[in-house]
Amino acid sequence: MAERLPPRTGEVIDREEELRFQFDGEDYLAFSGDTIASALAATGVRVFSRSFKYHRPRGLLCCAGHCPNCLVQVGEEPNVRACRRRVEAGMRVEPQNVTPTLKRDWLAPVMRALSPFMSVGFYYKTLYRPSWVWKLGEPLLRAATGLGKVSVPKIPSEGFDKQYLRGDVVVVGAGPAGMSATLSAAGQGASVLLLDENGQLGGHLRTTGDTQQRLPSLLEKVRAAGNIRVFTETTVTGWFDHSWLAAVRGHRLYKIRAGAVVLASGALERPLLFENNDLPGVMLGSAAQRLLRLHSVKPGQRAVVMTANDDGWEVAADLRAAGVEVVAMADERERAASSSARVDALSADVPVFWRHTVAAAHGGSAVQAATIVPLDGDGDTQAPRHRQDCDLLLVSVGWTPNTGLAYQAGVRFGFDEKRAELTARDMPENFAIAGRAAGTHLLEHELAEGALAGRSMAAAAGRGDAPAAAQWTQVQEEKAAEPARSAPWVSVAGAGKRFLCYCEDVTEKDLYTAVAEGYDSIELLKRYSTISMGPCQGKMCSMNAVHLCARANAASVDETGSTKSRPPLQPISLGALAGQNMEPVRVTPVHDWHLERGAKMMVAGLWLRPERYGDPAGEVRAVRERVGVIDVSTLGKYKLTGPSVPDILEKIYINRWRKLAVGRVRYGAMCNTEGIVMDDGVTARVGEQEWYMTTTSGGAGSVNEWMQWWMQSGWGEGVQLLNRTDDFAAVNLAGPQARALLQKLTGLQLGNDQFPYMHARSGAVAGVPCRLLRIGFTGELSYELHCPSSYGRHLWERLLAAGEQFGILPFGVEAQRVLRLEKGHLIIGQDTDALSNPIAAELSWAVKLDKEDFLGQRSLIRVTERGVRQRLVGFTVPGVSVAPEEGLQIVALGSNGKRPEIIGWVSSCRFSPTLNEVIGLCWLPSEIAETDGAEFNIWRDERPLAARVHHGAVYDPEGARLRS
């Protein structure tokens, strides 16, 4: 740790605890509290990564977790910012995008040679003709460029979570303005959340000026207040409607509801454009101060400081205090423009170049010299040029307020040309900006503005009174009188690579080329050149890009505008967004029994249902020949009461209900307003004013919402609708022996005369109060038993026990699908889609267009007038035993080698063990569907497969067994 300074006040490292870690295959030592970057810098490491496109060496630039230069791979985790991540013992850190090593990257000279041919968007222009060029070029481009490596099998699937937070006032940024806002809001009685992306509170109070003057008392007050919650290492990544903030801390995503927001996120130091401005050793002034003050690391030995404001002079003073030799200062301003108290002392023994700028950095893998040139009025260069040897070139020329979150909250910014600052307007009532994020730089002003913002936002959240408008005016006036921190934007002409965007290696020349090619609006420029689309999300390049674009178009910065800021402001791992894997499932009261019997379960909507217990064909045969039982507790179940139930049923269903007698059951189908089938099921009239409705398992929720909508907007008078889906278990007992079995468990009269087909009864079965519906989806004599959920398993087990002598089998969804297909019954959603009307879907028998009014009626009238082009119809596939897959297309074979034309599709298909034949339902053009026995072709495995239209059920078409 050769570059480590002696212990200093304010450092965040613990020198008592040494940690060993690896970087690029070599061992390094760090102190506890070191970041990966500070530990490496303390050992003299200059090169941290290779750049995205040209594989140029890159070193520390911002040291604030914003720029892409220190992105590293930590174990399996890619794109970790080395300047933010604290070292842990045994950490394995690797550089990214190196071919093959950081020190010797053979792609760097190749890319240097190729770079004249790789201007902005070159692949759009070259790699498209002939078409195979892209196939060849894309893998090469992908291999040569990029960031970290994601190892898919090793992606952690656990350890991510989410937390929901709420605060009257949420303060983003814990610098002086943020802490001041926090204290003032908390003083008004507001609950405050204070979030900061750094490991410690304090912001620039820790890295600039006299750190001990204000910081300790602010920290103590924040700590002492009871209504402040502090979150460090927490990055706010987005503002969403109604002050909903997203923030990330490690593997945790915070979702925060803010009453009001104070944005005190500080300012980002702006890089300067000059030749080789990306060389390791070229660093922002604030980055050097962070290394010095937080981690006691010397950023270099001999420094040139390039500045355009008084902050650069502070940087130079800090360097000298730490024993770094300042070999030259260059300031874009006239000496008279500086009000820094440091000027005299520094000028005494450092050569100072007023009205100069840096035109170039020189060196191989790190900076060795800088060329300093004078500026004329327009920022062009003139002789003489000064070449100054150095190993550190610090840039402090201006600040860009870190206001992405404000953009997202609807704040708009103008540009004050005189002060070269952004000015906010259209501020929402519950949003405030304070401190450097608002262009306020003097500490006393920051504290005053923060306090005002905190109080205002507490008031906006209903805590205390807002400050008088005059106080705001005073703060604004004081701020306006501060010396400017950002010089007018200059860029001296020069050769070589002048990087605008470090993330994606976009140069100044690239940008001018893009504008010349017509991408002259800032949003187009962004998309074409990819500036601001990399890991820094524009934090380093946006402001410079806007200035460049303005200059190229001879427009003002205000006219040029800026690109829209969208969440996330910082890259965020998909794991943090996904959080824990918490997929809810619903299980029936008989679920455990199914598992005990080794049922293969399947997901059906939110439900888990038995797909099969053993061989589905055996289950089918049990139902056809003896008796079977299926758990249908997943059905939607509704109780409707009141005098007007028939009225609403008439409107909701396409068929008639008014005259249904008490004790009868009827099948019904529902349509939406467009006349598309939504759901079906059976409904029983169980009393003069009480009805019991069932829906499909999948449609239970949507039917409820649908009916509630119509009932709550005018059709609800005289009707009560109660969702009983979870209250009742339901089982379907089906097969020729169903009656004999059931009779063993109930005193109800089950004879065909006493309890005929499509009737409903109530009574005890196995001692359990049940509602019995005699219906037949399976095509056999069958009873559907609904009982309170808590009795569900008891009833199920008693039925199976009583059925033992009849050879009963439980059957699953697969067997049920075969059984219903043998009867030609459709399943809504399986055999129909969002374009299926009931007339085309073999339900025209149920459509009663002469009813007074029902949902879908008007649309169906038009359907009948125009006829239907496609119909759902049954089919058989003679001579095969393997059912074609559902979803296969049906084709009309073209003659003379023409491609087959798609004319329909298979919606359901199974092998029927009862008939020993493949059967199914499909959609066909009406003219084919109308003819029983008509032949058509299913397109399977690139070949036609002959199938035949079959009208009616293939099994028991008269329905005699249902009624037996």
Binding site for another protein (CB under 8 A): 240-242, 244, 255, 257, 410, 673-674, 705, 708-709, 712-714, 853, 857-859, 861-862
Residue 567: asked if its preceding bond is cis (omega within 30°), the reply is: no
Dihedral (CA of 447, 449, 454, 455) sign: positive
β-partners of residue 831 are none
Instruction: Give the Cα separation of 4 and 951 in Å (integer).
Output: 88
If DSSP codes are grouped into helix, strand and coil, which group holds residue 183?
helix
Q: For another protein, which is the closer residue by CB, 26 or 705? A: 705
Residue in this structure with the two tokens 């303060």, named with its chain if needed? 171
The nearer residue to another protein, 86 or 639, going by C-beta atoms, is 639
> Least distance from C-beta 834 to another protein, angstroms?
13
Which two three-digit tokens encode residue 806? 């009849």
Q: Give the residue with the Cβ less far from another protein, 157 or 713.
A: 713
Which tokens belong to 933? Answer: 């026995």
Q: Please report, as a single letter, which amino acid is at residue 491.
A: S
Nearer CB in complex with another protein: 257/385: 257
Q: Give the nearest distance from C-beta 862 to another protein in angstroms.
A: 6
Give min distance, CB of 856 to another protein, in A.
Answer: 10
Q: CB-wise, 555 or 861, nearer to another protein?
A: 861
Q: How far is the CB of 651 from another protein (least distance, A)?
A: 10
Spell out the residues 6+ positions from residue 335 whose beta carbon is closer than 8 angstroms to its own: 343, 354
> Which residues are paired to 111 by β-bridges?
none
Give 718's contacts (C-beta < 8 A, 6+ positions apart).
Answer: 642, 643, 644, 645, 647
Smallest CA-to-CA distance from 258 within 140, 334, 367, 171 is with: 171
CA distance 148 to 810: 53
Backbone angles phi, psi at 316, to 5 degrees: -60, -40
> Which residue, 16 or 241, has its beta carbon nearer to another protein?
241
State in angstroms the smallest separation of the CB of 239 from another protein. 11
Shortest spacing between CB 607 and another protein, in angstroms: 18
Distances (CA, A) of 922 to 74, 291, 843, 888, 935: 54, 71, 14, 10, 13
**Residue 609 has which token pair?**
């249902």
Whichever of 431 and 905 has its CB closer to another protein, that residue is: 431
By beta-carbon proximity to another protein, the closer residue of 154 and 242 is 242
Q: Which of residues 861 and 882 has its CB atom nearest to another protein in the complex?
A: 861
Strand duo 870-877 + 943-950: pairing: antiparallel
> CB of 840: closest distance to another protein in angstroms?
18
CB of 865 to another protein, least distance (A): 9
DSSP 727-791: TEEEEEEESTTHHHHHHTT--S--STTTS-TTBEEEEEETTEEEEEE---SSSSSEEEEEEEGGG
Given the complex with another protein, which of 18 and 429 has the nearer CB atom? 429
Nearer to another protein, 14 or 429 (CB): 429
For residue 643, the minimal CB distance to another protein (Å) is: 18
CB of 713 to another protein, least distance (A): 5
Least distance CB 677 / another protein (angstroms)? 16
Q: Would you say how long the chain is, in residues?
A: 964
d(CA 393, CA 301): 11
**Alpha carbons 557 and 541: distance in angstroms, whole number:** 15
